Amino acid sequence: MTSLRDAALAVRENAHAPYSKFKVGAAVRGASGAIYRGCNVENVAYPEGTCAEAGAIAAMVAAGETRLTEVYVVAGSPRPVPCCGGCRQKLAEFGGGDVPVTLATVAGAEEATTIATMLPGAFDADDMV
């Protein structure tokens, strides 16, 4: 059975990162158990680039799922790659605060965290009632 790490490492190979040269792979598990993958896709107009996490979330939503239960992100960074702020908010949209997130390096270092730890005090839908 494919692990989230294997899925994230494999999709990272497809990253389009000619500008930063920093390839990122993300894999999320939907509530159904299915795995969805995403890689960063950069653009010559730099702000138009998208993160790996955003790609994985888009794949999940396109497949008809809107809840995730597990997240894995990997890059060739010296420390387990931290999700950017925007991706923390994107993950919080589709996963509860207790959802486990593993941040990793290609070399094999891993850091276990959760969505709530990465984004304490997150703004959510309950704030708008």
d(CA 110, CA 114) in angstroms, rounded, equals 13
- Binding string, residues 68-107; x marks residues near ligand THU by CB under 6 A: ---------------xx--x--------------------
- Binding string, residues 9-48; x marks residues near ligand THU by CB under 6 A: --------x--x-x-x---------------x-x------
Q: Which two tokens stand for residue 121?
A: 């005090």
Q: Check if 65 is active-site.
A: no
Q: How many helices (H) and strands (E) does the chain have?
A: 4, 5
Amino acid 36 reads Y
Among 13, 48, 53, 70, which one carries the catalytic annotation? 53
d(CA 67, CA 6) in angstroms, rounded, equals 21
CB of 114 vs ligand THU, minimal distance in Å: 16
